[in-house]
Structure 1
Amino acid sequence: MISKVFRGHLKMRSLLSCLVILTSFVLAFPASRESQLQTKERVFPPRDWEIHSIAPSNHRIELKIGLPQPNFEILEKHLYEVSDPSHSRYGQHLSKEEVEALVAPHPESLELVTDWLASHGFGEQDMTRSPAQDWITVTVPVRLAEEMLDTTYYVWKHTASGESIVRTTSYSLPIHLHEHVDVIQPTTTFARLKSFKSTIHKLDKETGQIVEQSNTPIISASGVSVDPSCNTTVTVTCLKQLYNATDITPSANINNSFGITGYLDQFANFQDLQSFYAVQVPAAVNSSFAVLSVAGGQNNQSLSEAGDEADLDIEFGFGITFPINGTFFTTAGSPPFIPDLETPTDTNEPYTKWLDFILAQDEIPLVITTSYGDDEQTVPESFAKRACAGFAQLGARGVSLTFSSGDGGVGDGDSDPTTQTCFTNDGTNRTEFLPLFPASCPYVTAVGGTIHVPEVAVGFSGGGFSNFFARPAYQDAAVAAFLETFPNGTYAGLFNPNGRAFPDVAAQADNFQVVIGGETGLIGGTSAASPTFAGFVALLNDARLKAGLPSLGFLNPLFYSTAISGFNDITSGNAPGCGTEGFNATVGWDPVTGLGTPDVGKLVALVTSV
């Protein structure tokens, strides 16, 4: 149901739009519309990237132009109201059409940007517009992109991985367009999309069998018995025991749904899933999941092409949630652009490709987990904020989003965390902790990692404080309490205490028993923690839907308030990085394990009473 405030806003917006359009017919635009070019965005040459060569002039890129969303603050207000269990509108999620109306650009922005593209030879048939018209995409050769943006594209090579991408470090626009364009990419984004699977901390195909340490059950923080084998080998049964979910039987017939994103040619193998089910979830044998292709994404079923990340995600995500409807999104794009080959397009913007696709859908899974990201500083702030705004739109529509918090502690995980040195990308080369994106977005739930029973923080659990996003009000009390007990002067200048803090929650993150390419082994990473936690959120939705309540949607305002007692506080362990011991797990929220791990039994009671 649309609130009176929302209806009034739409009427006012409609009147304003009509006035602007009418004015455009009455008044001729000045001839100075083609104004002088001025730098729109500039970044310093990125850390660990070096110029390989001039970009081929005929190399084609998809330029995505983000137009301002003048009413985003109103959308954000709606998001927080429908996500706050103390608000009268809790659970009254917005429709696709309502969200699109709130993020639509001003008609003047649409007209001016369309005219600018037309001046470079683009007709309407050459432009792809998002449903809300806040993004315009055109495919152009590098030579034309350079002309339009008054810049030079280069092939950049990452010194450690050898990956190459086509990017520039600055671009310009006519002055009159600056207030009508938020961001244009791919230009200055140097993120290396990585799966947070601990750079395969463990994929031990020799020791994939369960090994019991003793016959004595372990009592978890939730007060339930856990098989002692769970200390060395994590299974679906272990997780349900550990998080007090063994008595929960979800339904397949209440319109519940669960989604997993896949990138970088990570293919989810059906045969591996059946082998996994045969051992760990026998009731699920012969069940399957839907595959949705995004921008031409494939899902190759050769066992030799089975993805370790994709298989981990589907096996535990769908294993925990069976028989809830499951969907795997396979998004095209593999980051290594090979500069010496005739690569037709540079497909290294997978988050926006997936966001374009999912926001255009009428039906979206109620919970979606993602196990990918990169250092926040590799993503220009303008781009990070627009991608984050896309996640807010999903939250407003009743979708819960979880993201892995990263596998580098307070650093980037590219080397020994106790010796690595972390530098800023702003030209000063200061030593600084490196927050992760999208985990640092305030509209998603970031999931850190634990290990063993009783649980302690796993040493690679990513966490920290954003340099782009301010601390949201929902976590003020919890984070302030942590900072008050944090020794004065510790790590001074290495992190932003006023930034959005993450992770929000945690789950087991190592020694997961998987089947990959037909072989059984162990694997870990916060990429295991995110689908695990998201799977239990789907069980919470099951309880709410059965009670006639709407889906949980954006989780954080609930978790940091009414549901805070439904978490097992993790108070031991730390996650080093950047040549330091990093932050410690401690009483209350901390930037290693967040609020802690879920007690699903308690959470079911809590979420069905609000």
Structure 2
Amino acid sequence: MRLSIIGFLAVGAIAAPAGHVLHEKREFLSANWQKKHAIESRALMPMRIGLTQQNLDQGHDLLMDVSDHTSPNYGKHYTPEEIADIFAPSQNSVDAVTAWLTSAGIARDRISQSWNRQWIQFDALAHEAEDLLKTKYHVYEHTEFGTGNIACDEYHVPAHIQEHVDYITPGIKLFATKPKSTGRDGLQKRTFGVTGKAPVLPPLMKPLPQPLASLKALSLDLICGVAIIPECISAMYNITKATKAAPNNKLGIFEALGDVYSQEDLNLFFATLASNIPQGTHPELRAIDGATAPNPVLTAGPESDLDFEISYPIIYPQGSVLFQTDDDVYQANYTYEGFFNNFLDAIDGSYCSYSAYGETGNDPKLDPSYPHNVPGGYKGNLQCGKYKPTNVISISYGGQEPDLPAYYQKRQCNEFLKLGMQGISVLIASGDSGVSGRPVTGDNGCLGPNMTVFNPGLSLKPFPPS
């Protein structure tokens, strides 16, 4: 479903009621939805008005001010509370929207503001809401799942209010929740990548050209020409041996999609190629939404193993933290197109209810939801702010930018910006195809009928280094 937020009426558009302008309009109704009947005029509806945040246009400059070593404010990072204040809707927006509501007959004692200051909330009878927004509400039914939504085709707000309003619910968006699976029948182990319109592809792997023992007998130059061992990485990047460890400066590593490290694999790697690292060395597990780790060696994830086999020789004796995300049932059969949201929820509780670009919190169409009431599922609530983020977080997962809606990715970009302002560095791997999407058809990964349109990868966001 394509949505558009319209600031001014185009020439030839239907005239808005006097004093009001069109704020949102659905351009067409998806074939998956049927418009059933008008909502009863006395039906009570919870109304939520998402307020426009302030200072997002200054976010890049604020980040650079504390990140550029030539800045006098270098290293003077913001606290989560300071960030909330910087980007919270202005009091002017709160006052303007509240004044509009009271002038329209919504009593002041019916109006409240959410704890994160991003929402104005009140309950209204359907006819009150329709009069307020100059619209008509209907019940819509999803043709496949049978779920219902209350929504409208378009709505209007006073012209002087529009700049203060991001979006309003119930509004034009339609959410369909997929029926929950009742068991694990037919589950299949998934490999590396983000699900989406393109198929999920496994990591590119090939065997060594000769036994490892023979390779190790060669000079380092010859070894690094055919295989990468810890000494190769140290030589290429001029990395000296680490000697110190700070307990509050562990390296964070994100893992998901059923790719889970094996301790047996790490032990074998340490014994063979990093003998200075003791057997049994392992990351601290910060399990998100019921995730588990490690796995037995027969079900080990090659990407997770590789992440720790590359990082430990660089940072040891510094420790690491594993942010394994989502319960085993979801990970084994990840059918959602969304990615990263549950992880971001867990390290920043405010992100669970963060409103931007017509989206609040996780997207029920794109993200796994909790409680997950199936055998083996995580029965707890979505974990919000469960863990403190590490100072550096490495993400070695990728996908293609066209696979996810722009509003979904822009909301995540804002979160990466805010993490950076707190001094948290999130590093996202560019992947086997650089900063472009991985080739699925053709040989260059591009889009369009002539395969000439650049297809950016998910790592090509403005704020996380790639």
TM-score, structure 2 normalization: 0.59
Identify which of 187, 192, 203 aligns with 2:195: 192
Alpha-carbon spacing, 1:213–1:366, altered in 2? closer, same or farther (3 Å)? closer
Alpha-carbon spacing, 1:281–1:42, altered in 2? closer, same or farther (3 Å)? farther
1:194–1:373 contact (8 Å) kept in structure 2: no
CA distance in 2, matches of 1:400, 1:206: 37
Alignment of 1:332-371 (within 5 A): 332=326, 334=330, 348-360=337-349, 361=385, 363-371=388-396
CA distance in 1, matches of 2:119, 2:213: 50
Alignment of 1:455-470 (within 5 A): none
* Larger of the two Rg values belongs to structure: 2
Q: Does 1:93 align with 2:105?
A: no
SS of residue paired to 1:401: strand
SS of residue paired to 1:350: coil
2:54–2:87 contact (8 Å) kept in structure 1: yes
Alignment of 1:209-220 (within 5 A): 209=212, 211-212=214-215, 215=218, 217=219
1:259–1:328 contact (8 Å) kept in structure 2: yes
Alpha-carbon spacing, 1:384–1:419, altered in 2? closer, same or farther (3 Å)? closer
How far is 1:422 from its partner? 1.9
Compare the two structures and name the one with the higher helix fraction. 1
Amino acid at match of 2:55: N
SS of residue paired to 1:241: helix
How far is 1:232 from its partner? 1.0
Paired position in structure 2 for 1:201 = 204
CA distance in 1, matches of 2:270, 2:283: 13
Identify which of 416, 428, 433 aligns with 1:391: 416
Paired position in structure 2 for 1:406 = 431
1:194–1:372 contact (8 Å) kept in structure 2: no
CA distance in 1, matches of 2:202, 2:257: 14
Amino acid at match of 2:287: S
Alpha-carbon spacing, 1:54–1:312, altered in 2? closer, same or farther (3 Å)? farther
Identify which of 221, 227, 232 aligns with 1:238: 232
How far is 1:110 from its partner? 12
Q: Deviations over 1:261-283 (max 9, x none)?
A: 11212212222222221222222
Identify which of 454, 459, 462 aligns with 1:433: 454
CA distance in 2, matches of 1:281, 1:194: 40
Q: Does 1:316 align with 2:336?
A: no
Compare the two structures and name the one with the higher strand fraction. 1
Q: Does 1:262 align with 2:255?
A: yes
Instruction: Flag the structure with more relative contact order, 1 or 2, with Cα contacts below 8 A and sequence separation at least 6.
Output: 1
Q: Deviations over 1:317-376 (max 9, x none)?
A: 2332112231111111748879xxxxxxx7653312111211235732111111223221
Q: Does 1:271 align with 2:264?
A: yes
Alpha-carbon spacing, 1:318–1:103, altered in 2? closer, same or farther (3 Å)? farther
Alpha-carbon spacing, 1:259–1:411, altered in 2? closer, same or farther (3 Å)? closer
Percent identity (aligned): 22
2:241–2:314 contact (8 Å) kept in structure 1: no
Identify which of 47, 50, 53 aligns with 1:69: 53
Structure 1 residue runs of 5 or longer lacking an equivalent are 1-31, 46-50, 56-64, 117-128, 137-146, 157-165, 218-225, 339-345, 447-610
How far is 1:258 from its partner? 0.7
**Number of aligned residues:** 338
Amino acid at match of 2:403: T
Alignment of 1:72-221 (within 5 A): 72-105=56-89, 132=116, 174-176=155-157, 179-181=165-167, 192=195, 199-204=202-207, 209=212, 211-212=214-215, 215=218, 217=219
How far is 1:67 from its partner? 6.0
Paired position in structure 1 for 2:440 = 415
Structure 2 residue runs of 5 or longer lacking an equivalent are 1-17, 35-48, 102-113, 121-135, 177-193, 350-384
SS of residue paired to 1:319: helix
Q: Deviations over 1:411-461 (max 9, x none)?
A: 53343653766228xxxx984110112x22111111xxxxxxxxxxxxxxx
How far is 1:394 from its partner? 0.8
Alpha-carbon spacing, 1:233–1:410, altered in 2? closer, same or farther (3 Å)? closer
SS of residue paired to 2:286: strand
Paired position in structure 2 for 1:534 = none
1:261–1:369 contact (8 Å) kept in structure 2: yes
Amino acid at match of 1:292: R
Amino acid at match of 2:85: A
Alpha-carbon spacing, 1:419–1:268, altered in 2? closer, same or farther (3 Å)? closer
1:41–1:171 contact (8 Å) kept in structure 2: no
1:210–1:232 contact (8 Å) kept in structure 2: no
CA distance in 2, matches of 1:355, 1:73: 22
Amino acid at match of 1:102: I
Paired position in structure 2 for 1:303 = 297
CA distance in 2, matches of 1:41, 1:294: 38
2:283–2:322 contact (8 Å) kept in structure 1: yes
